[in-house]
A and B are shown apart, each in its own frame.
Chain A
Amino acid sequence: MKALILNGEKDNKASLNKYSKIIIKELENRDYEVNTVILYEEKIADCIGCFGCWIKKPGICVIDDYAHKIATMFINSDLIIYLTPVVFGGYSYQLKKALDRMIPLISPFFIKVDGEIHHKPRYKEYPSILGIGVMSEFEKEQVELFNDLIKRNSINLHSPNYASEVFVKNKDIDHIQQGINNLLNRVSDKNE
Protein backbone atom coordinates (compact mmCIF):
# COMPACT_ATOMS: atom_id res chain seq x y z
CA MET A 1 0.00 0.00 0.00
CA LYS A 2 1.10 3.54 -0.70
CA ALA A 3 0.81 6.64 1.43
CA LEU A 4 1.55 10.25 0.56
CA ILE A 5 2.26 12.84 3.23
CA LEU A 6 1.51 16.41 2.17
CA ASN A 7 3.40 18.48 4.71
CA GLY A 8 1.85 21.96 4.87
CA GLU A 9 4.51 23.42 7.16
CA LYS A 10 4.34 27.21 6.86
CA ASP A 11 8.08 27.84 6.52
CA ASN A 12 11.35 26.20 7.34
CA LYS A 13 10.87 26.36 11.09
CA ALA A 14 10.47 22.59 11.01
CA SER A 15 7.71 22.67 13.59
CA LEU A 16 5.92 19.72 11.98
CA ASN A 17 9.07 17.66 11.62
CA LYS A 18 8.41 15.69 14.77
CA TYR A 19 4.93 14.70 13.55
CA SER A 20 6.16 13.82 10.09
CA LYS A 21 8.82 11.49 11.49
CA ILE A 22 6.34 9.67 13.70
CA ILE A 23 3.82 9.32 10.87
CA ILE A 24 6.45 7.89 8.53
CA LYS A 25 7.60 5.42 11.16
CA GLU A 26 4.08 4.25 11.98
CA LEU A 27 3.19 3.92 8.30
CA GLU A 28 6.32 1.93 7.56
CA ASN A 29 5.52 -0.35 10.49
CA ARG A 30 2.28 -1.06 8.69
CA ASP A 31 4.10 -1.84 5.44
CA TYR A 32 3.15 1.32 3.62
CA GLU A 33 5.47 2.69 0.98
CA VAL A 34 5.64 6.36 1.99
CA ASN A 35 6.23 9.48 -0.10
CA THR A 36 6.56 12.84 1.59
CA VAL A 37 6.28 16.27 0.00
CA ILE A 38 7.34 19.31 2.01
CA LEU A 39 5.19 21.75 0.14
CA TYR A 40 6.99 25.01 0.84
CA GLU A 41 10.07 23.55 -0.87
CA GLU A 42 8.22 22.93 -4.13
CA LYS A 43 7.24 25.36 -6.81
CA ILE A 44 3.48 25.07 -7.03
CA ALA A 45 1.48 27.90 -8.57
CA ASP A 46 -1.92 28.94 -7.27
CA CYS A 47 -4.92 27.61 -9.20
CA ILE A 48 -6.10 30.23 -11.71
CA GLY A 49 -9.70 28.97 -11.80
CA CYS A 50 -9.72 28.41 -15.57
CA PHE A 51 -11.19 24.87 -15.53
CA GLY A 52 -8.72 23.98 -18.29
CA CYS A 53 -8.20 20.72 -16.36
CA TRP A 54 -11.77 19.77 -17.31
CA ILE A 55 -12.31 21.32 -20.72
CA LYS A 56 -8.90 21.75 -22.35
CA LYS A 57 -6.74 18.90 -21.09
CA PRO A 58 -9.23 16.80 -19.15
CA GLY A 59 -7.58 15.37 -16.05
CA ILE A 60 -4.42 17.51 -16.32
CA CYS A 61 -3.89 21.04 -14.99
CA VAL A 62 -2.79 23.49 -17.69
CA ILE A 63 -0.03 24.81 -15.42
CA ASP A 64 2.97 22.54 -15.75
CA ASP A 65 4.72 22.44 -12.37
CA TYR A 66 5.26 20.17 -9.37
CA ALA A 67 1.49 19.89 -8.78
CA HIS A 68 1.43 17.36 -11.67
CA LYS A 69 3.78 15.11 -9.78
CA ILE A 70 1.64 15.44 -6.66
CA ALA A 71 -1.57 14.68 -8.59
CA THR A 72 0.04 11.53 -10.00
CA MET A 73 1.21 10.36 -6.57
CA PHE A 74 -2.12 11.39 -5.03
CA ILE A 75 -4.34 9.26 -7.25
CA ASN A 76 -1.98 6.30 -7.05
CA SER A 77 -1.94 6.27 -3.25
CA ASP A 78 -4.20 4.44 -0.82
CA LEU A 79 -3.85 7.05 1.89
CA ILE A 80 -3.08 10.79 1.85
CA ILE A 81 -2.00 12.54 5.01
CA TYR A 82 -2.79 16.23 5.21
CA LEU A 83 -0.30 17.48 7.80
CA THR A 84 -0.80 21.15 8.57
CA PRO A 85 -0.79 23.82 11.21
CA VAL A 86 -4.44 24.64 11.91
CA VAL A 87 -5.03 28.05 10.36
CA PHE A 88 -8.29 29.56 11.60
CA GLY A 89 -9.82 26.09 11.63
CA GLY A 90 -8.54 25.22 8.17
CA TYR A 91 -5.40 24.38 6.22
CA SER A 92 -2.23 26.40 5.82
CA TYR A 93 -1.62 28.21 2.54
CA GLN A 94 1.14 25.71 1.74
CA LEU A 95 -1.19 22.72 1.95
CA LYS A 96 -4.06 24.50 0.22
CA LYS A 97 -2.02 25.64 -2.77
CA ALA A 98 -1.55 21.94 -3.58
CA LEU A 99 -5.12 20.87 -2.82
CA ASP A 100 -6.59 23.56 -5.09
CA ARG A 101 -4.57 21.99 -7.90
CA MET A 102 -6.04 18.51 -7.35
CA ILE A 103 -9.42 19.17 -9.03
CA PRO A 104 -8.21 17.60 -12.31
CA LEU A 105 -8.58 14.31 -10.40
CA ILE A 106 -12.36 14.59 -10.40
CA SER A 107 -14.89 14.93 -13.21
CA PRO A 108 -16.71 18.14 -14.12
CA PHE A 109 -20.00 16.23 -14.21
CA PHE A 110 -22.35 15.95 -11.28
CA ILE A 111 -23.59 13.29 -8.89
CA LYS A 112 -25.84 13.38 -5.83
CA VAL A 113 -24.31 12.28 -2.53
CA ASP A 114 -26.82 12.15 0.35
CA GLY A 115 -29.11 14.57 -1.48
CA GLU A 116 -26.34 17.09 -2.11
CA ILE A 117 -24.63 17.78 -5.45
CA HIS A 118 -20.93 16.91 -5.87
CA HIS A 119 -18.71 16.11 -8.83
CA LYS A 120 -18.56 12.63 -10.27
CA PRO A 121 -15.38 10.65 -9.77
CA ARG A 122 -12.96 10.59 -12.72
CA TYR A 123 -11.05 7.55 -11.44
CA LYS A 124 -12.34 4.24 -10.13
CA GLU A 125 -10.61 4.52 -6.80
CA TYR A 126 -9.54 7.36 -4.56
CA PRO A 127 -7.30 7.47 -1.51
CA SER A 128 -8.55 7.79 2.04
CA ILE A 129 -7.72 11.03 3.82
CA LEU A 130 -6.06 11.42 7.17
CA GLY A 131 -6.05 14.98 8.48
CA ILE A 132 -3.48 15.86 11.13
CA GLY A 133 -3.69 19.41 12.39
CA VAL A 134 -1.31 21.03 14.84
CA MET A 135 -2.11 24.07 16.95
CA SER A 136 -0.41 25.85 19.82
CA GLU A 137 -3.46 26.05 22.07
CA PHE A 138 -6.63 24.01 22.00
CA GLU A 139 -9.54 25.96 20.54
CA LYS A 140 -12.73 24.00 20.30
CA GLU A 141 -14.36 25.81 17.36
CA GLN A 142 -11.24 25.53 15.24
CA VAL A 143 -10.75 21.88 16.05
CA GLU A 144 -14.34 21.11 15.09
CA LEU A 145 -13.97 23.13 11.92
CA PHE A 146 -10.82 21.24 10.97
CA ASN A 147 -12.54 17.88 11.48
CA ASP A 148 -15.56 19.05 9.46
CA LEU A 149 -13.32 20.20 6.64
CA ILE A 150 -11.59 16.83 6.38
CA LYS A 151 -14.98 15.14 6.26
CA ARG A 152 -16.24 17.52 3.56
CA ASN A 153 -13.08 17.00 1.50
CA SER A 154 -13.49 13.25 1.73
CA ILE A 155 -17.00 13.51 0.28
CA ASN A 156 -15.87 15.68 -2.65
CA LEU A 157 -12.96 13.35 -3.28
CA HIS A 158 -14.94 10.10 -3.07
CA SER A 159 -12.54 8.84 -0.40
CA PRO A 160 -13.41 5.43 0.96
CA ASN A 161 -12.53 6.57 4.46
CA TYR A 162 -11.27 9.53 6.46
CA ALA A 163 -10.10 10.35 9.96
CA SER A 164 -8.68 13.46 11.57
CA GLU A 165 -7.32 14.87 14.76
CA VAL A 166 -5.81 18.09 16.01
CA PHE A 167 -2.73 17.83 18.22
CA VAL A 168 -1.74 20.57 20.61
CA LYS A 169 1.93 21.46 20.23
CA ASN A 170 4.52 20.41 22.77
CA LYS A 171 2.83 17.23 23.86
CA ASP A 172 5.36 14.47 24.43
CA ILE A 173 6.34 12.04 21.72
CA ASP A 174 4.51 9.07 23.30
CA HIS A 175 1.25 10.97 23.28
CA ILE A 176 1.63 11.90 19.62
CA GLN A 177 2.69 8.42 18.66
CA GLN A 178 -0.31 6.87 20.34
CA GLY A 179 -2.64 9.41 18.76
CA ILE A 180 -1.28 8.73 15.31
CA ASN A 181 -1.54 5.01 15.82
CA ASN A 182 -5.20 5.34 16.80
CA LEU A 183 -5.83 7.50 13.74
CA LEU A 184 -4.21 4.96 11.44
CA ASN A 185 -6.33 2.23 12.96
CA ARG A 186 -9.45 4.28 12.35
CA VAL A 187 -8.63 5.20 8.78
CA SER A 188 -7.55 1.70 7.79
CA ASP A 189 -10.58 -0.03 9.33
CA LYS A 190 -12.67 0.49 6.23
CA ASN A 191 -9.75 0.27 3.82
CA GLU A 192 -9.19 -3.38 4.44
Chain B
Amino acid sequence: MTAGAVAQASPATWDWDIAQRMMPELLRGLSVTLQATLVGITVAMVLGLVLAMARRSSLPVVRWPVVGFIEFVRSTPLLVQLFFLFFVLPDLGVRLSGFTAGVLGLGLHYATYTSEAYRSGIENVEKGQWEAAVACNLSTRTTWGSVVLPQAIPTVIPALGNYLVAMLKDAPLLSTIAVLELLAVARQLNSQLFRPLEAFSLAALLFLAVSIPAAILVRYLEKRYGYSRE
Protein backbone atom coordinates (compact mmCIF):
# COMPACT_ATOMS: atom_id res chain seq x y z
CA MET B 1 0.00 0.00 0.00
CA THR B 2 2.76 2.38 0.93
CA ALA B 3 4.70 1.45 -2.21
CA GLY B 4 1.75 2.48 -4.35
CA ALA B 5 1.40 5.77 -2.53
CA VAL B 6 5.08 6.53 -2.89
CA ALA B 7 4.82 6.14 -6.65
CA GLN B 8 2.26 8.91 -6.83
CA ALA B 9 2.89 12.54 -7.72
CA SER B 10 2.68 13.93 -4.20
CA PRO B 11 4.07 11.14 -2.08
CA ALA B 12 2.29 10.65 1.18
CA THR B 13 4.04 8.77 3.92
CA TRP B 14 2.37 7.25 6.92
CA ASP B 15 2.19 9.75 9.74
CA TRP B 16 1.86 8.10 13.15
CA ASP B 17 0.96 11.36 14.84
CA ILE B 18 -1.98 11.93 12.53
CA ALA B 19 -3.02 8.31 12.94
CA GLN B 20 -2.95 8.68 16.69
CA ARG B 21 -5.00 11.87 16.54
CA MET B 22 -7.61 10.16 14.39
CA MET B 23 -7.97 7.05 16.49
CA PRO B 24 -10.35 8.24 19.23
CA GLU B 25 -12.84 9.61 16.69
CA LEU B 26 -12.59 6.53 14.54
CA LEU B 27 -13.18 4.29 17.54
CA ARG B 28 -16.28 6.27 18.33
CA GLY B 29 -17.40 5.71 14.74
CA LEU B 30 -16.65 2.02 15.06
CA SER B 31 -18.75 1.86 18.18
CA VAL B 32 -21.70 3.40 16.30
CA THR B 33 -21.18 0.86 13.50
CA LEU B 34 -21.17 -1.98 15.98
CA GLN B 35 -24.25 -0.72 17.77
CA ALA B 36 -26.14 -0.31 14.52
CA THR B 37 -25.10 -3.81 13.42
CA LEU B 38 -25.98 -5.48 16.69
CA VAL B 39 -29.36 -3.81 17.01
CA GLY B 40 -29.96 -4.34 13.30
CA ILE B 41 -29.18 -8.07 13.39
CA THR B 42 -31.39 -8.46 16.45
CA VAL B 43 -34.28 -6.83 14.60
CA ALA B 44 -33.52 -9.03 11.58
CA MET B 45 -33.37 -12.21 13.65
CA VAL B 46 -36.62 -11.58 15.49
CA LEU B 47 -38.58 -10.14 12.58
CA GLY B 48 -37.26 -12.77 10.18
CA LEU B 49 -38.53 -15.51 12.45
CA VAL B 50 -41.93 -13.83 12.73
CA LEU B 51 -42.11 -13.50 8.94
CA ALA B 52 -41.11 -17.13 8.41
CA MET B 53 -43.74 -18.33 10.86
CA ALA B 54 -46.42 -16.02 9.45
CA ARG B 55 -45.66 -17.37 6.02
CA ARG B 56 -46.79 -20.79 7.20
CA SER B 57 -50.07 -19.49 8.56
CA SER B 58 -53.17 -21.28 7.38
CA LEU B 59 -54.80 -17.87 6.85
CA PRO B 60 -54.22 -16.31 3.41
CA VAL B 61 -54.79 -12.84 4.89
CA VAL B 62 -51.69 -13.37 6.98
CA ARG B 63 -49.66 -15.19 4.37
CA TRP B 64 -50.07 -12.91 1.38
CA PRO B 65 -49.06 -9.57 2.87
CA VAL B 66 -45.99 -11.26 4.31
CA VAL B 67 -45.00 -12.70 0.95
CA GLY B 68 -45.62 -9.31 -0.66
CA PHE B 69 -43.55 -7.49 1.92
CA ILE B 70 -40.65 -9.90 1.55
CA GLU B 71 -40.68 -9.67 -2.25
CA PHE B 72 -40.92 -5.90 -2.18
CA VAL B 73 -38.08 -5.39 0.27
CA ARG B 74 -35.82 -7.88 -1.47
CA SER B 75 -36.39 -6.28 -4.86
CA THR B 76 -35.33 -2.79 -3.83
CA PRO B 77 -31.86 -1.60 -2.76
CA LEU B 78 -31.16 -1.11 0.91
CA LEU B 79 -30.10 2.47 0.14
CA VAL B 80 -33.54 3.28 -1.24
CA GLN B 81 -35.14 1.84 1.87
CA LEU B 82 -32.88 3.94 4.09
CA PHE B 83 -33.76 7.10 2.15
CA PHE B 84 -37.42 6.23 2.40
CA LEU B 85 -37.27 5.76 6.15
CA PHE B 86 -35.17 8.88 6.71
CA PHE B 87 -36.42 11.37 4.11
CA VAL B 88 -39.96 10.25 3.21
CA LEU B 89 -41.40 9.15 6.53
CA PRO B 90 -41.08 12.66 8.04
CA ASP B 91 -43.44 13.88 5.31
CA LEU B 92 -45.89 11.26 6.53
CA GLY B 93 -45.48 12.51 10.07
CA VAL B 94 -42.99 9.95 11.35
CA ARG B 95 -39.67 11.51 12.20
CA LEU B 96 -36.89 9.06 12.94
CA SER B 97 -33.32 9.85 13.95
CA GLY B 98 -30.70 8.74 11.46
CA PHE B 99 -29.62 5.95 13.77
CA THR B 100 -33.17 4.68 14.30
CA ALA B 101 -33.98 4.84 10.60
CA GLY B 102 -30.69 3.12 9.81
CA VAL B 103 -31.13 0.32 12.29
CA LEU B 104 -34.70 -0.17 11.16
CA GLY B 105 -33.65 -0.23 7.52
CA LEU B 106 -30.88 -2.75 8.14
CA GLY B 107 -33.19 -4.84 10.30
CA LEU B 108 -36.11 -4.87 7.85
CA HIS B 109 -33.89 -5.51 4.86
CA TYR B 110 -32.01 -8.36 6.44
CA ALA B 111 -35.17 -9.79 8.01
CA THR B 112 -36.31 -10.76 4.54
CA TYR B 113 -33.10 -12.72 4.11
CA THR B 114 -33.10 -14.31 7.55
CA SER B 115 -36.74 -15.24 7.04
CA GLU B 116 -35.69 -17.33 4.03
CA ALA B 117 -33.03 -19.00 6.13
CA TYR B 118 -35.55 -19.73 8.89
CA ARG B 119 -37.97 -20.97 6.30
CA SER B 120 -35.63 -23.61 4.99
CA GLY B 121 -34.67 -24.52 8.56
CA ILE B 122 -38.35 -25.01 9.40
CA GLU B 123 -39.02 -26.97 6.24
CA ASN B 124 -36.15 -29.28 7.06
CA VAL B 125 -37.91 -30.40 10.23
CA GLU B 126 -39.58 -33.62 9.14
CA LYS B 127 -43.34 -33.62 8.79
CA GLY B 128 -43.59 -36.43 11.29
CA GLN B 129 -42.48 -34.05 14.03
CA TRP B 130 -45.59 -31.95 13.51
CA GLU B 131 -47.67 -35.10 13.49
CA ALA B 132 -46.11 -36.42 16.67
CA ALA B 133 -46.95 -33.05 18.23
CA VAL B 134 -50.59 -33.60 17.27
CA ALA B 135 -50.49 -37.11 18.73
CA CYS B 136 -49.25 -35.49 21.96
CA ASN B 137 -52.10 -32.99 21.60
CA LEU B 138 -49.73 -30.02 21.83
CA SER B 139 -51.04 -26.54 21.11
CA THR B 140 -49.75 -24.69 18.06
CA ARG B 141 -47.68 -22.54 20.34
CA THR B 142 -46.04 -25.46 22.12
CA THR B 143 -45.48 -27.23 18.81
CA TRP B 144 -43.49 -24.25 17.56
CA GLY B 145 -41.76 -23.52 20.81
CA SER B 146 -40.90 -27.00 22.06
CA VAL B 147 -40.75 -29.14 18.94
CA VAL B 148 -40.17 -27.28 15.68
CA LEU B 149 -38.03 -24.23 16.47
CA PRO B 150 -35.56 -26.05 18.74
CA GLN B 151 -34.83 -28.31 15.76
CA ALA B 152 -34.94 -25.61 13.09
CA ILE B 153 -32.95 -22.81 14.68
CA PRO B 154 -29.61 -24.56 15.20
CA THR B 155 -29.47 -25.27 11.48
CA VAL B 156 -30.07 -21.58 10.75
CA ILE B 157 -27.38 -20.19 13.05
CA PRO B 158 -24.51 -20.30 10.51
CA ALA B 159 -26.63 -18.39 7.98
CA LEU B 160 -27.49 -15.80 10.61
CA GLY B 161 -23.80 -15.41 11.33
CA ASN B 162 -23.13 -14.75 7.65
CA TYR B 163 -25.81 -12.07 7.61
CA LEU B 164 -24.22 -10.48 10.65
CA VAL B 165 -20.95 -10.10 8.78
CA ALA B 166 -22.73 -8.85 5.65
CA MET B 167 -24.66 -6.30 7.68
CA LEU B 168 -21.50 -5.02 9.29
CA LYS B 169 -20.20 -4.29 5.81
CA ASP B 170 -23.46 -2.59 4.80
CA ALA B 171 -23.42 -0.33 7.83
CA PRO B 172 -21.44 2.42 6.00
CA LEU B 173 -24.59 3.05 3.96
CA LEU B 174 -25.91 4.68 7.11
CA SER B 175 -23.46 7.50 6.53
CA THR B 176 -25.84 8.70 3.80
CA ILE B 177 -28.54 9.38 6.37
CA ALA B 178 -26.43 11.38 8.80
CA VAL B 179 -25.25 8.55 11.01
CA LEU B 180 -21.68 9.06 12.16
CA GLU B 181 -20.56 5.48 11.77
CA LEU B 182 -17.01 4.48 11.04
CA LEU B 183 -16.79 5.43 7.37
CA ALA B 184 -18.57 8.75 7.91
CA VAL B 185 -16.06 9.61 10.61
CA ALA B 186 -13.19 8.69 8.30
CA ARG B 187 -14.54 10.98 5.60
CA GLN B 188 -14.99 13.78 8.08
CA LEU B 189 -11.43 13.40 9.34
CA ASN B 190 -10.15 13.35 5.80
CA SER B 191 -11.86 16.58 4.91
CA GLN B 192 -10.58 18.23 8.09
CA LEU B 193 -6.99 17.01 7.93
CA PHE B 194 -6.54 16.13 4.25
CA ARG B 195 -5.03 12.81 5.18
CA PRO B 196 -6.91 10.13 3.19
CA LEU B 197 -4.12 7.60 3.70
CA GLU B 198 -4.43 7.44 7.47
CA ALA B 199 -8.19 8.06 7.63
CA PHE B 200 -9.27 5.33 5.23
CA SER B 201 -6.53 2.84 6.01
CA LEU B 202 -7.39 2.98 9.66
CA ALA B 203 -11.09 2.68 8.87
CA ALA B 204 -10.39 -0.40 6.76
CA LEU B 205 -8.23 -1.90 9.50
CA LEU B 206 -10.92 -1.33 12.08
CA PHE B 207 -13.50 -3.02 9.86
CA LEU B 208 -11.11 -5.93 9.47
CA ALA B 209 -10.49 -6.08 13.19
CA VAL B 210 -14.18 -6.73 13.69
CA SER B 211 -15.11 -8.75 10.63
CA ILE B 212 -12.29 -11.26 10.86
CA PRO B 213 -13.21 -12.42 14.37
CA ALA B 214 -16.85 -12.41 13.25
CA ALA B 215 -16.00 -14.61 10.28
CA ILE B 216 -14.09 -16.97 12.57
CA LEU B 217 -17.13 -17.10 14.81
CA VAL B 218 -19.30 -17.99 11.82
CA ARG B 219 -16.90 -20.74 10.79
CA TYR B 220 -17.07 -22.10 14.32
CA LEU B 221 -20.88 -21.94 14.30
CA GLU B 222 -20.93 -23.78 11.00
CA LYS B 223 -18.84 -26.55 12.48
CA ARG B 224 -20.95 -26.67 15.59
CA TYR B 225 -24.41 -26.46 14.03
CA GLY B 226 -23.92 -26.76 10.28
CA TYR B 227 -24.86 -30.40 10.16
CA SER B 228 -27.04 -32.45 12.42
CA ARG B 229 -25.74 -33.06 15.89
CA GLU B 230 -26.64 -36.72 15.76
Q: Do A and B come from one complex?
A: no
Chain A interface (Cβ within 8 Å of chain B)? none
Chain B interface (Cβ within 8 Å of chain A)? none
